[in-house]
Amino acid sequence: MRFLVTAGPTHEPIDPVRYIGNRSSGKMGYAIAEAAIAAGHDVVLISGPVNLDPQRGAKLIPVSTSDEMLDAVMRQTPNCDILVMCAAVADYKPARISNEKIKKGAASLSLELIQTRDVLASLPQQDRQYLVVGFAAETENVKANALKKLQDKNCDVIVANDARIAMESDENEVEIFFRGGENKKISRAPKKIIARELVKIFENVCEKGLTKKIT
């Protein structure tokens, strides 16, 4: 199968030396890419700025901003069977990017932020030929928030994790919710172990979905 995996944060520039970012390390997405390669799949990895070695065996597409992430995903989805949106795409970006470094002046400074485009919500909503897996990073009401994202973002599967456990860590603990209403927990373990389980689950759902389409 052809996996398209996104990983890491996005950086939204403020001026030539500053950006808005988040604490995503990219480790979960890279672990999924690694596990998919080990299972014999083709992998394209769209990666935000991370401090990780390139994943051997994957085609790496480096991006920086949410706009670049969205464009790369749109270009690659026609050639994938499973899209795994593991990236922590920024929700807001500066309304204006200053061409010059903003100098220290007034005692306080306000930045106007505008919403970024949502990658998952921008995908075609019907007749998709690939499985869409979203991630939900939460700090409270994990299940309710994840189920809302599953529906609002029209995902086939959503992987919920507690952002306080997952961010920058080598470990994770996830609960997976499927479009059909089922769910499955994977208890706390190294991300590499969780990634292997996730890849098996995605393969399974994808195979079932493809069989459904053919028959």
Provide the annotated active-site residues. Answer: 22
Binding characters for ligand CTP, 144-163, by CB under 6 A (x = yes): -----x---x----------
> What is the C-alpha separation between 18 and 189, in angstroms, rounded?
35
- The terminus-to-terminus CA distance of the chain in angstroms comes to 19
Binding characters for ligand CTP, 44-83, by CB under 6 A (x = yes): ----------------------x-----------------
Phi, psi of 37 (to 5 degrees): -65, -45
Nearer to ligand CTP, 135 or 202 (CB): 135
Q: Is 91 in the site for ligand CTP (CB under 6 A)?
A: yes
Q: Is 142 in the site for ligand CTP (CB under 6 A)?
A: no
> What is the C-alpha separation between 143 and 175, in angstroms, rounded?
8
Nearer to ligand CTP, 48 or 209 (CB): 48
Q: Determine the interface stretch with ligand CTP among 29-37, 48-56, 115-123, 177-185 (rule: CB under 6 A).
A: 115-123
Q: List Cβ neighbours of 108 (8 Å cut-off, separation of 6 or more).
A: none
Give the DSSP H or E segment for 20.
Answer: strand 18-20
> What is the C-alpha separation between 4 and 36, in angstroms, rounded?
10
Interface with ligand CTP (CB under 6 A): 66, 85, 87-89, 91, 116, 118-120, 134-137, 149, 153
